[in-house]
C-alpha cells in the first residue's frame, strides 16, 4: 500500500476537520429490511452487528435517515448511544423514499433542512460529523426538478454555518459538480459508486486524490455481484464476472485463503491510499469477514491482475 501523508501513525485517514478514522468502516444500508425498507428481519442481529463493529474498533459508520426510512439511524442510536469517543457517523441527504423500490430526489433547501433535523433527532446528536449531498448522476434516480445542484449545496453549506454539520461531502457526483461545490464550501469526502467491476468514477477518484479529499466507494462489493451463488438475473448489467475474470479472482483468493469479497476489499485499499471502505451487512459472520480484509496484503502483481479485470 502506498504511504500517504494524510494518514496518522496508526494508519487512520483524515475525514474532515479534526477527524481521523480507520480505513475499514461500516455501512448501515443493509440493516433495515430488504431493499433498505422497513424493519430488519432480525432486529437483535442488526443491533449485535453494530455493537460488534464498535467492539472491533470500527470508527466510521455510514448511514442515512432514508435507510428504512429512519430504521438504520434508530438502530444505530439504540445500539451505540452514548457513542464511543472516536466514532464518526456520516450520513446522507437529498433523497426521499416513497416505497420499497422508490428512491427519489428531495434536494430543495426546505427538504434538506428537514432531513438534517431528522438525522440529528434519530441519531441523538447536536451536530452531524459529515453530511453528503446525494446527487443524481449515477442512474439511481432523476435529479430534483425544483432545485439546482448549486442551490442544494449552498443550502447544505448554510446548515454547516449554523453549526448543525461539521463537514460536507458529496455523493453521486461528477468532477464538474465537485469543482462547483468546492467553490462554495470545503468538501471533505466523496461517495461514488466504484468497485472491482465498475470504474466509471475513476476520474472523480483521481481528482479526490489530487486535492486531499477522502473517497468512499459505495457498493464496494458490487452489491453482491461477486458471489458465485448469486442469481444472474439479479446482477446489474456489466457487473457480472466472465469465466476468465472469475478464475483470476478465485486464484488470488485461493493463494491467500481468502474469499472473493475479501480480495475485492483488499484491492480497493491497495488501489488508492485515500480510499475509505464502508462494506455493509446484517450478518456477524460477514462483518468479521469484511474486517479481516484489512489484513490481506495483495502483491503488486496481484493488484495489477485485478486492475485489468474490467478491461
What is the layout of strands, in order, in the sheet containing 128-134? 26-27, 60-62, 88-93, 128-134, 165-171, 189-191, 214-215
* Distance (Å, whole) CA 143 – CA 132: 15
Let me know: does 23 contact 58? Beta carbons within 8 Å: no
Let me know: does 49 contact 31? Beta carbons within 8 Å: yes
**Would you name the residues annotated as active-site residues?**
67
Closest C-alpha to 271, from 167, 201, 175, 223: 201
Sign of the alpha-carbon dihedral angle for 28, 32, 36, 37? negative
Other CB atoms within 10 Å distance of the CB of residue 8: 9
Amino acid at each position: 500500500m502506498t504511504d500517504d501523508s494524510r494518514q496518522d501513525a496508526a494508519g487512520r485517514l483524515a475525514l474532515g476537520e479534526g477527524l481521523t478514522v480507520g480505513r475499514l468502516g461500516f455501512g448501515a444500508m443493509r440493516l433495515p429490511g430488504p431493499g433498505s425498507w422497513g424493519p430488519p428481519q432480525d432486529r437483535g442481529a442488526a443491533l449485535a452487528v453494530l455493537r460488534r463493529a464498535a467492539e472491533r474498533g470500527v470508527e466510521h459508520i455510514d448511514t442515512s435517515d432514508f435507510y428504512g426510512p429512519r430504521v438504520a439511524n434508530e438502530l444505530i442510536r439504540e445500539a451505540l448511544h452514548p457513542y464511543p469517543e472516536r466514532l464518526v457517523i456520516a450520513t446522507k441527504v437529498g433523497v426521499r423514499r416513497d416505497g420499497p423500490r422508490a428512491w427519489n430526489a428531495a434536494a430543495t433547501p426546505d427538504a434538506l433542512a428537514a432531513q438534517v433535523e431528522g438525522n440529528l433527532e434519530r441519531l441523538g446528536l447536536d451536530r452531524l460529523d459529515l453530511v453528503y449531498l446525494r446527487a443524481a448522476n449515477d442512474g439511481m434516480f432523476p435529479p430534483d426538478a425544483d432545485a439546482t445542484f448549486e442551490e442544494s449545496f449552498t443550502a447544505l453549506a448554510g446548515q454547516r454555518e449554523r453549526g448543525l454539520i461539521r463537514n460536507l461531502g458529496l455523493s453521486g457526483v461528477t468532477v464538474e459538480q465537485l469543482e462547483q461545490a468546492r467553490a462554495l464550501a470545503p468538501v471533505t469526502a466523496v461517495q461514488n459508486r466504484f468497485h472491482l467491476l465498475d470504474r466509471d468514477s475513476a476520474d472523480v477518484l483521481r481528482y479526490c486524490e489530487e486535492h486531499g479529499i477522502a473517497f468512499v466507494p459505495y457498493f464496494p462489493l458490487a452489491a453482491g455481484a461477486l458471489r458465485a451463488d448469486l442469481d444472474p438475473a439479479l446482477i446489474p448489467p456489466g457487473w457480472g464476472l466472465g469465466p476468465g475474470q472469475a478464475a483470476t479472482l478465485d486464484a488470488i483468493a485461493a493463494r491467500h485463503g481468502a474469499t472473493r469479497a475479501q480480495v475485492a476489499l483488499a484491492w480497493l485499499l491497495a488501489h488508492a491510499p485515500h480510499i475509505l471502505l464502508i462494506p455493509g451487512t446484517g450478518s456477524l459472520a460477514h462483518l468479521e469477514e469484511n474486517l479481516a480484509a484489512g489484513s490481506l496484503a495483495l502483491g503488486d502483481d496481484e493488484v495489477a491482475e485485478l486492475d485489468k479485470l474490467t478491461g
